[in-house]
Amino acid sequence: MFHLKMGWMLWLGSCLLLGCRPESDIKVLRLAHTLDTTHPVHAALVFMAKELETRSAGRMRIKIYPGSQLGSERETIELLQLGAVDLVKTSTSPLEGFIPGMGIFGIPYVFRGSEHFWKVLEGEIGQELLSAGVHQKLKGLCYYDAGSRSFYTKEKAVRSPEDLKGLKIRVQNSRTSMQMIDSMGGAATPLSFGELYSALDQGVVDGAENNPPSLLSSRHYEVCKFYSLDEHTMVPDVVLIGTETWDRLTQEQRQWLQEAADVSVPFQRDLWAAKTKETMTALEKAGVEIIYPDKSLFQKAVASLHAGFEGTEAGRWMQRVLELP
Ligand code: GCU
């Protein structure tokens, strides 16, 4: 009896909070991403989903499919274009194939630091890029911090570009990432994130590159014991909505969703900063050697790469980024 009463009270409570409506009145948006549920970006997406539910008084929800359940980033972007999912969280790297301007983030050492990076993302350039994909049925809602990417390797530490010679380094599905590794002397091997653990384990590749929370949450550190902080690129994450879904939403629904995305950004950035610090300690505890190489060596190795982008779409954006004070 007591349980029945409690159950009824809980039901009433949630009705008051969320409104009592049949399931069919609730708009559920499906969101796909490739990261583990322990990753801070996943936590930000959960936060965004809660915000949306609150703002819409339970009329809108987000169902998250993490950990590459629905495929690689490239595959989920294609699902988004087909309208088979509504939202995707992806790195900007595989987006280059759909929105060439996104290639700007794959060019090494373009940003002068985190302040410059966020000035770009929050300013005209970043906002233009969020809407640059609408003809490809892809609309950006917000960016998330994904820190800086650095090399991690299995057998040999990377202290200078020389050490990359002869190493197969996994890269994202992105042309600029491949060009970067090639110009540093390594052999770029594109693979999806979901395939990477076994590729490292089985020696298909000798190393990869990523930010600290991704190295930890993917457990790649179990195989790669050298992490060399050359911080070659700052590649943000982005939350995209398919324009077919967006067009079907009412003005009010769009506003709730955009607001939920917007408030998740400062939440994610704070969490990212805290998690990155914790992660470095956890990696060291797990026996990963952290190397602080001379970055200028890596910068020199890619100097001609910058010049090579002149006249390209990514090069045009690069110029604007470099000129931004
Ligand atoms: C980062 C990024 C992911 C991406 C991964 C990768 O972790 O946040 O979205 O999948 O890099 O290297 O593929």
Cβ-contact 32, 88 below 8 angstroms: yes
Give the pLDDT score at 312: 86
Give the pLDDT score at 16: 44
Best mutation site among 31, 34, 279 for ligand 1 pocket (most ligand atoms within 8 Å of CB): 34
Measured distance between the N- and C-terminal CA atoms of the chain, rounded to whole angstroms: 68
Burial of residue 16 (CB within 10 Å: 0-12, 13-18, 19+) is: exposed
Query: Could you state, in chain order, the average pLDDT of each consecutive group of 10 residues for the chain (325 residues)?
Result: 45 46 83 98 98 98 98 98 98 96 96 97 98 98 98 98 98 96 97 98 98 98 98 98 98 98 98 97 98 98 91 90 94
Work out which ligand 1 atom sits closest to the CA atom of 214.
7
Cα 313 from Cα 176, distance rounded (Å)? 12
Give the pLDDT score at 17: 45
Q: Does the beta carbon of 73 sit less than 6 angstroms from any atom of ligand 1?
A: yes
Give the pLDDT score at 3: 46
Q: With a threshold of 0.95, does the pTM exceed it?
A: no
Q: Does the beta carbon of 34 sit less than 6 angstroms from any atom of ligand 1?
A: yes
Q: In which region does residue 120 sit, left (phi positive, over 0), alpha (psi from -120 to 50) or beta (all else)?
A: alpha
From atom 13 of ligand 1, which residue's Cα is the shortest distance away? 193
Burial of residue 182 (CB within 10 Å: 0-12, 13-18, 19+) is: middle
CA of 41 to the centre of ligand 1 (A): 10
Q: Does the beta carbon of 68 sit less than 6 angstroms from any atom of ligand 1?
A: no
**Strand ranges in the chain using DSSP code E only, listed in sequence order:** 27-32, 60-65, 87-91, 138-144, 149-153, 168-171, 187-190, 207-210, 226-233, 237-242, 289-291
CA of 178 to the centre of ligand 1 (A): 15
Q: Which residue has the tokens 């790649």?
A: 220
Give the pLDDT score at 314: 81
Give the pLDDT score at 14: 46
Give the pLDDT score at 23: 64
Q: Does the beta carbon of 237 sit less than 6 angstroms from any atom of ligand 1?
A: yes
Cβ-contact 151, 158 below 8 angstroms: yes
Nearest partner of 232 among 316, 309, 171, 319, judged by Cα: 171
Give the pLDDT score at 310: 86
Cα 80 from Cα 85, distance rounded (Å)? 5
pLDDT tens, position by position, 271-314: 999 999 999 999 999 999 999 999 999 999 999 999 898 888 88
Give the pLDDT score at 6: 46
From atom 5 of ligand 1, which residue's Cα is the shortest distance away? 193
Give the pLDDT score at 313: 82
Cβ-contact 44, 270 below 8 angstroms: no
> Which residue blocks in 87-158 are alpha helix, DSSP H?
114-122, 124-131
Instruction: State the maximum Cα–Cα separation within the chain, in Å, rounded to a whole number.
Output: 76
> Which residue blocks in 158-192 are alpha helix, DSSP H?
175-184
